[in-house]
Homo-oligomer: A and B are copies of this chain.
Amino acid sequence: MKLDVFLSPAGLAANEVAGRSVFVIDVLRTTTVICAALHHGARGVVPVSSVAEASRLAQTLGPEDVLLIGERNCEPIEGFALGNSPLEMAAPGVRGKTLVMTTSNGTSALLAAHGAEEVFVAAAANLSLAGARAREILATRRELVILCAGRESQFGLDDAYAAGRLAILALGGRRRKGLNDGALAAVDLARRYGTSWERPLSMSAAGRQLTRLGRGADVADAAREDAYPVLPVLRDRRITLETAA
């Protein structure tokens, strides 16, 4: 059994994800927003690395079916329909649309999982579903990767805590052989903070920055466990609900 948690995509070698099952986590806010969008009826989410690429892709796909969403430095992007708040995803315009998304850290982590056998999107918002699937994968394939987006290529407390919560569900109470150093630490952190998301999220640099910018409601929404109970999966550059595959 092999359970690897990578606490940031920086320095991740391609062979560490190639052919494996990967859960990507960016609780504040990218993976929470993806869960919210699909829960509210978006057809799919396409993560891209730059604003320019997002605009080009929207033209290619046809602007009438596409919404541009995302942020830079936690703020909405000029000319984009929506920012990167899970609360915005309840807007009626989201249903039926393909969202082209670019964010500072989260979309990079999703793109860093390129080459994986399968890529799932995880957050507090879909913890139970993601945990059940992670447990199933670990039981059958005997290995699993959890990849944290972190923050500016560095460790993020929010994502590390989430990785620990997901790892604990994946392990299902079994002993801790086969965990890499990141997984051992993530599990330790999850145990240290207990089951409430508020504290690790509000203490994290990402949470503090959002609160400073008046976006504390996003932090509170991202802390609602199983608020958006869907399991998004990334296939061929596009994230959809798993059942839609």
CB neighbours (8 Å) of A192 from chain B are: 188, 191-192
Q: Mark A148-175, 1 if CB is under 8 A from B, else 0.
A: 0001111111101000000000000000
Tell me how far the C-beta of A180 lies from the nearest C-beta in chain B, rounded to whole angstroms. Answer: 6
Tallying the copies of this chain within the complex gives 2
CB neighbours (8 Å) of A180 from chain B are: 154, 205
Residue in B8, B151, B155, B191 whose CB lies within 8 Å of A185: B155
Question: Given that A10-B10, A11-B10, A188-B189 are known contacts, is A181 also in contact with B152, CB under 8 Å in the complex?
Answer: no
Q: Are B182 and A11 in contact (CB under 8 A)?
A: no
CB neighbours (8 Å) of A204 from chain B are: 181
A7 proximal to B (CB < 8 A): yes
Q: Are B7 and A155 in contact (CB under 8 A)?
A: yes
Tell me how far the C-beta of A153 lies from the nearest C-beta in chain B, rounded to whole angstroms. Answer: 3
| Interface residues in A181-233 (C-beta closer than 8 Å to B) | 181-182, 184-185, 188-189, 191-192, 203-205
